[in-house]
A and B are shown apart, each in its own frame.
Chain A
Amino acid sequence: MTRDQDIRAEIILQAYGLRPLSITASTLARQSRKQGMDYSESDMARESRFLVGQGMLAESTDPVTGATRYAITSAGVIHYERDRS
């Protein structure tokens, strides 16, 4: 897998584990670094936006902080449970 594909796999894993709650790119990056990965917040934001475009994540705005939050969609759940490699 390419690095971007690895990042997307990590995002989908975290979003799946957290469903139906949402998560910010900052927390996605921090959680991935705890696992020894070197993904930055901008990496996570970029690939999260890509996954939003693919319909696997839904984007929302935190009403308190204004931060962008991402939650897995049903298509994302199906991808994780059935189609991921």
Chain B
Amino acid sequence: MADHANKGAVARLPHAVRELINQRIRDGATDAAVAEWCRVSGHEISEGSIRTWRAGVPDQKSPSGYQRWINSQERLSDMAAKREFAREIVEKGQGADIHEAATQIAASQLFEVIEEFDLQKVKTSLEQDPTLYPKVLRALAALNAGGLDFAKFREHVAEKKRAITDAVAQAKTPGGITPETLARIEEAASLL
């Protein structure tokens, strides 16, 4: 996109300086104040250049440099919120046992599900065809039941792990593993 936003005086400044200019504009500083700050910081940037960076060129349709920065900040904020939401769901669902790499994979997948979900589309579809409402309810109920089944499965696995741990602890006592202990270990392992 070869437009003025990428070629102007502000665009040619170091990234760190440009960031500070954008933050000042966002915080309400006037074009003159930002230009003065640039001058004091060792960068001769005119008030007109700041105005162009902030508001764009009148006849140019593409967004100004500052508008692009604002847009990217909003997108980063939105992604961060969805990313943290996805991670929280995964971590609450899996507990502390899951490896960090697995958490990241699951959270990445969940993020994409969240990102694809279009709430407005769902609302519009329900308004246009109210008969979809029972289907949505059934889908939610199935999701809930699936979650409950998974929770039961996890508890079952946790219970068997505890049994194995106890059996192994007993095996460490003088006398070694008794046939009864070994049978308990084998039973617990086969039910996982």
Chain A residues at the B interface, C-beta cutoff of 8 Å: 1, 6, 13-14, 16-18, 20-24, 27, 30-31, 35, 62-65, 69, 81-85
Q: Which residues of the partner chain B approach A62 to less than 8 Å between Cβ atoms?
A: 105, 108-109
Nearest CB of B to A26, in Å: 8
Identify 19 residue pairs between A and B in the complex whose beta-carbon atoms are under 8 Å apart, listed by A's number. Answer: A13-B75, A14-B79, A16-B76, A17-B78, A17-B79, A21-B104, A21-B107, A22-B104, A22-B108, A23-B108, A30-B115, A31-B115, A62-B109, A65-B109, A81-B15, A82-B15, A84-B15, A85-B6, A85-B15
Chain B residues at the A interface, C-beta cutoff of 8 Å: 1-2, 6, 11, 15-16, 71-72, 75-76, 78-80, 83, 86-87, 104-105, 107-109, 111-112, 115-116
Measured CA separation A20–B72 after assembly (Å): 18
The 10 closest A-B pairs by CB, nearest first: A17-B79, A21-B108, A17-B76, A22-B108, A27-B112, A18-B79, A6-B1, A21-B107, A18-B83, A21-B83
Measured CA separation A13–B86 after assembly (Å): 19
Nearest CB of A to B192, in Å: 20
Nearest CB of B to A71, in Å: 8
Q: Which residues of the partner chain B approach A85 to less than 8 Å between Cβ atoms?
A: 6, 11, 15
Which of A18, A63, A81, A85 has most B Cβ within 10 Å? A18
Q: Which residues of the partner chain A approach B2 to less than 8 Å between Cβ atoms?
A: 1
Q: Which residues of the partner chain A approach B75 to less than 8 Å between Cβ atoms?
A: 13-14, 17, 35
13 further contact pairs, Cβ within 8 A, besides A6-B1, A13-B72, A62-B105? A18-B83, A18-B108, A21-B107, A21-B111, A23-B112, A24-B112, A27-B115, A30-B116, A64-B109, A82-B15, A82-B16, A85-B6, A85-B15
Quick one: closest A residue to B3, CB to CB?
A1
Measured CA separation A64–B110 after assembly (Å): 12
Q: Which residues of the partner chain B approach A14 to less than 8 Å between Cβ atoms?
A: 75, 79
Q: Which residues of the partner chain B approach A31 to less than 8 Å between Cβ atoms?
A: 115
Of A13, A30, A69, A81, the contact of B108 (CB 8 Å cutoff): A69
Q: Which residues of the partner chain B approach A20 to less than 8 Å between Cβ atoms?
A: 104
Q: Which residues of the partner chain A approach B108 to less than 8 Å between Cβ atoms?
A: 18, 21-23, 62, 69
Contact B104–A13 (Cβ < 8 Å): no
Nearest CB of B to A81, in Å: 8
Nearest CB of A to B173, in Å: 40
Measured CA separation A35–B78 after assembly (Å): 13
Nearest CB of B to A56, in Å: 15
Nearest CB of B to A31, in Å: 7
Q: Which residues of the partner chain B approach A18 to less than 8 Å between Cβ atoms?
A: 79, 83, 108, 111
